[in-house]
Amino acid sequence: MQLPQSKIDFYQTNGFVQIDNLLTPAELDELSGAIDEVMLDSTAEVALQTDKAGGNYYKVLNQRVNTWRDHGVMAKFSLNEKIARAAMELSGASGIRLFHDHALWKMPGDSKPTPWHQDFPYWPMHEPGALSAWIPMHDVDEENGCMMFVPGTQNKGKLTGIDLVNPQDIFAFEENKDINRNTAVKVPLKKGQMTFHNGLTFHYAHANKSSQPRRVLALIFFPDGTRFNGKPHVITDGKGLVADEPFKGGLFPLIVKK
């Protein structure tokens, strides 16, 4: 085991956890250089950019999806065994596959917060258990877009997905009336620290009020054996996946197993 049991217990209880120094400073510098290359390369064709400058989604997130298929150094980190092994230990899965990576930049200027949401409702998976690693390239705090999590909300189950541009208030949902939003935990991070969060955990990120992009790589992992639910998704559409069958193959690579 590479993680202390206390970290696994914290994740299981709270639905998120902070992990320090999984990547070395040299690795982080290499990743930081590569993510800049991917994000600043207007010719990159494979890594899908979800919105262009000026768009409403772009004000929340300037995002490129599946950078690992575009850039060898991104692949080195999106398929990194240390990160996937941590995801396996936290989730208790017997193997971990990558669903997709995404570079998540919050641009300076007219920046909007990432509203309170769960991730899992967006993902075309039957079984819950998927989780994200959220890896900033630099220090993050309330000023430039650090995250907040509501402990224990991973136990709420799958709720209606939130529109990230015109968000509903997740705390106003009838089933969430027992949740006190003041229990949310703000998680500023220093370079070298990262978080993992369960796809069901309520989370939020502050707007970026700094003068520089907030640069993050997020990796979405799921337990081996998770089945495709057949719903449309930008990552799975047109890939010939069969509903109710487990995800498999090189597009959703098995990175680590017990």
- Where on the chain is the footprint of ligand AKG (CB under 6 A)? 61, 104, 106, 114, 119, 132, 134, 145, 203, 205, 216, 218
Indicate the residue among 134 and 222 with the shorter CB distance to ligand AKG: 134
Amino acid 174 reads E
Indicate the residue among 71 and 117 with the shorter CB distance to ligand AKG: 117
Of 199, 196, 11, 209, nearest in space to 108 by CA? 209
Asked if residue 235 lies in contact with residue 243, where contact means CB atoms within 8 angstroms, the answer is no
Q: Which residue do the tokens 């990796």 mark?
A: 219
Least CB distance to ligand AKG at residue 5 (A): 25
Distance (Å) of CA 107 to CA 55, 181, 185, 216: 12, 26, 23, 11
Indicate the residue among 179 and 248 with the shorter CB distance to ligand AKG: 179
> What CA–CA distance (Å, rounded) separates 210 from 231?
38
Burial class (CB in 10 A: 0-12, 13-18, 19+), 250: exposed
Least CB distance to ligand AKG at residue 242 (A): 27
- Return the residue nearest ligand AKG (CB atom): 205
Indicate the residue among 67 and 114 with the shorter CB distance to ligand AKG: 114
Least CB distance to ligand AKG at residue 245 (A): 26
Least CB distance to ligand AKG at residue 146 (A): 9
185: helix, strand or coil:
strand
Indicate the residue among 145 and 223 with the shorter CB distance to ligand AKG: 145
Least CB distance to ligand AKG at residue 47 (A): 16
Of 67, 91, 81, nearest in space to 16 by CA? 91
